[in-house]
């Protein structure tokens, strides 16, 4: 899958193009994954459908991934655009590219969690859980997994 924009930005699902230093550099400081080790990011990417966003010079400027069985369910995660490239519609571009990916078509349920982008995702049909009491989560303390401080 490859999507190009007239301004030279492109989205591509080739895992070989992901610049691990960029992905890890952002995710290790993000509120949802603070302190995540590089090898964990590498394994997470390897097990996901990943779309990278690249600038006109080919450098990675954003990313989104879906953890999925490619048949019934997907969890959208690690969506980001580097701060210096924000304000150009690249967040929407990466979300549209990921949701349009051939391996994510026909799924019964796609879910995600966000602290601050509810309006963005509602624009793509995401809505609040009808029955949140049905959903449970099992969490591990990142300090125990990775050491250091816990994400907010």
**pTM (two decimals):** 0.90
Q: Is the pLDDT higher at 121 or at 147?
A: 121
Domain locations in the chain?
A: 2-146
Q: Which residues pair with 11 in a beta bridge?
A: 3, 53
**45 and 6 in contact (C-beta within 8 Å)?**
no
CATH class of 2-146: alpha beta
Q: How far apart are CA 81 and CA 85, in angstroms?
A: 7
Which element (helix H / strand E) includes 27? helix 20-27
Q: How confident is the model over 50-61, as pLDDT tens digits?
A: 999 999 999 999
């Amino acid at each position: 899958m490859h999507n190009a924009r007239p301004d030279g930005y492109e989205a591509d699902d080739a895992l070989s193009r992901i610049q691990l230093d960029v992905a890890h550099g952002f995710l290790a400081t993000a509120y949802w994954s603070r302190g995540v080790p590089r090898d964990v990011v590498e394994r997470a990417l390897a097990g996901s459908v990943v779309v990278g966003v690249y600038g006109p010079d080919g450098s990675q400027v954003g990313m989104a991934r879906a953890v999925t069985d490619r048949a019934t369910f997907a969890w959208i995660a690690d969506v980001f655009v580097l701060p210096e490239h924000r304000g150009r519609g690249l967040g929407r571009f990466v979300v549209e590219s990921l949701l349009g990916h051939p391996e994510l078509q026909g799924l019964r349920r796609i879910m995600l969690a966000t602290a601050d982008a509810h309006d963005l995702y509602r624009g793509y049909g995401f809505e609040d859980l009808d029955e949140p009491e049905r959903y449970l989560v099992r969490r591990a303390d990142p300090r125990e997994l990775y050491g250091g401080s816990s994400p907010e």
